[in-house]
Amino acid sequence: MTFPPDMSQTDKRRLAVAAFLVVVLVAAIAAVLAVVVIKDDGGTASAQTVREYNLEVVAADIDYGGGNIWHAWTYKLADEPAGTVPGPTLEAKVGEKLIVHVTNKLDVVHSFHTHLENYSLENDGSQINTITGIGAGAMIKPGETYTYEFEPTRPGTFYYHCHSADGGHHITEHIHQGLYGAIIIHDRDEPEHANEQVVFMSERGFDTEGDNVPPFIMNGLGIPGGEQTLEKIFLDQGIDGVAAQFNKTVPVLDAKVNEELILHVINIGDQVHTFHVHGVKLISREQLNGEPWPANVIPLTPGEVDSVSITFTQPALWLFHCHVVGHADAGMIGLINVEEASGASP
């Protein structure tokens, strides 16, 4: 910097300091603006995806035939005609926001508690909301609605269930009355699977009528006597009689030869259950990091899950069941209808 020849040394120093401060101030403003621009551009380029669901808690009768009915409590999507056991499967990807609006249409308090992570207490859906007063509405009174928000941080198989003990019933009774469902969190870049299904293993809830209601169920269904009962039906009524039980007392899944089927298997019950599929290898995606289960049986303690990849090579009706065999005999059996892939040679 040059100064007039008649300027004093004091004025030169003052001017130099002032010039320096101006340069620093301009640089600081430029840096702040740069940061703001970068953040704004970044936010615009990677806007967070929001997955939003509207659920209702409603009653639903599950009719097993012969006067045997379970008067279940269920979750359902608001635009669906009836509730189901399990409730709707909710899906999101890591980094997305999952928003769930839940309306309680029954006459006791219910809630929506998940096994996700890193959420605020307002979204817990448990008795601690009432005790602390933080998010007290998460324990949803009859006729009211509450909104829960989550931001999943890792992929995996999770689930949700009611955590209320209202109406003179313990938490376990609220759950096993049918108030549960799966949450599948996918990795950001995970490819979509053509065939991905959920199997819940559980004990059945308390509100029933009839003397032959299954005590153990998968996806809400069960047939007392298991495979033995199906065989008797076949001998008496033929294959049409067996087919009449499909998705009424016996859950039936669909698959194709050489197609990867992803099964998310969840034990929501209070007892140990195990999961076995005939004729195929069960490759663990979560618990064994891609290794097959020994003897093709998944052991599931209460609350435990695994996702397995299975690929059938032979078309047939293949059995799956709890390999606590007494549970299978009490109703815990299902079928996978495996057909030839489209265009396959006969």
Same fold, 50-192 and 196-339: yes
Task: Please compute the mean of the pLDDT values over residues 291-311 and round it to a whole number.
Answer: 98
Alpha-carbon distance of 57 to 60, in angstroms, equals 10
CATH of 50-192, one of 3.40.50.700, 3.40.50.300, 2.60.40.420, 3.20.20.190: 2.60.40.420
Across residues 244-270, what is the average pLDDT?
Answer: 98
Q: Where are the domains of the chain?
A: 50-192, 196-339
For range 228-244, the mean pLDDT: 97
**CA dist., res. 202 & res. 96, Å (int):** 30
Residue 36 has pLDDT above 60, yes or no: no
Q: Letter for the amino acid at 170?
A: H
Residue with tokens 């899906």: 91
Residue 302 main-chain phi, psi, to 5 deg: -55, 130
Q: What is the average pLDDT across 161-179? A: 98
Dihedral, CA of residue 78, residue 80, residue 85 and residue 90, to nearest 10: -60
Instruction: Tell me the three-class secondary structure of the chain, residue by residue.
Output: CCCCCCCCHHHHHHHHHHHHHHHHHHHHHHHHHHHHHHHHHHHHHCCCCEEEEEEEEEEEEEEEECCEEEEEEEEEECCCCCCECCCCCEEEECCCEEEEEEEECCCCCEECEECCCCCCHHHCCCHHHHHHCCCHHHEECCCCEEEEEECCCCCEEEEEECCCCCCCCCHHHHHHCCCEEEEEEECCCCCCCCEEEEEEEEECCCCEECCCCCCEEECCECCCCHHHHHHHHHHHHHHHHHHCCECCCECEEEEECCCEEEEEEEECCCCCEEEEECCCCCEECCCCCCCECHHHEEEECCCCEEEEEEECCCCEEEEEECCCHHHHHCCCEEEEEEECCCCCCC
User: What is the pLDDT at residue 193?
Assistant: 83
% of residues, the chain, pLDDT over 70? 86
Per-residue confidence (pLDDT) for residue 7, from 0 to 100: 56
- pLDDT for the residue 8: 61
Q: How far apart are CA 202 and CA 215, in angstroms?
A: 9
Closest by CA to 184, choosing from 277, 101, 113, 264, is 264
Confidence of residue 190 (pLDDT cuts 50, 70, 90): confident
For position 252, what pLDDT does the model report? 98
What average pLDDT does the chain have?
Answer: 90
Across the range 206-216, mean pLDDT stands at 97
Average confidence (pLDDT) over 225-254: 98
pLDDT band at 346 (very low <50, low <70, confident <90, very high): low
Which superfamily, per CATH, for 196-339? Cupredoxins -  blue copper proteins (2.60.40.420)
**pLDDT of the residue at 44:** 44
6 φ/ψ sector (left φ>0, alpha ψ -120 to 50, else beta): alpha
User: Are 282 and 296 contacting, i.e. CB atoms less than 8 angstroms apart?
Assistant: yes
> Can you tell me the mean pLDDT for 49-56?
97
| Distance of alpha carbon 3 from alpha carbon 16, whole angstroms | 10
* Residue 194's pLDDT band (cuts 50, 70, 90): confident
Q: Determine what percent of the chain is predicted with pLDDT higher than 90.
A: 83
Kindly state the average pLDDT of the residues 109-122: 97
- For residues 263, 269, 272, 275, the Cα torsion angle rounded to the nearest 10 degrees is -20
Poorest-pLDDT segment among 32-41, 146-155, 223-232, 326-335: 32-41
pLDDT computed for residue 1 by the predictor: 54
Exposed/middle/buried for residue 64 (C-beta within 10 Å: 0-12, 13-18, 19+): buried
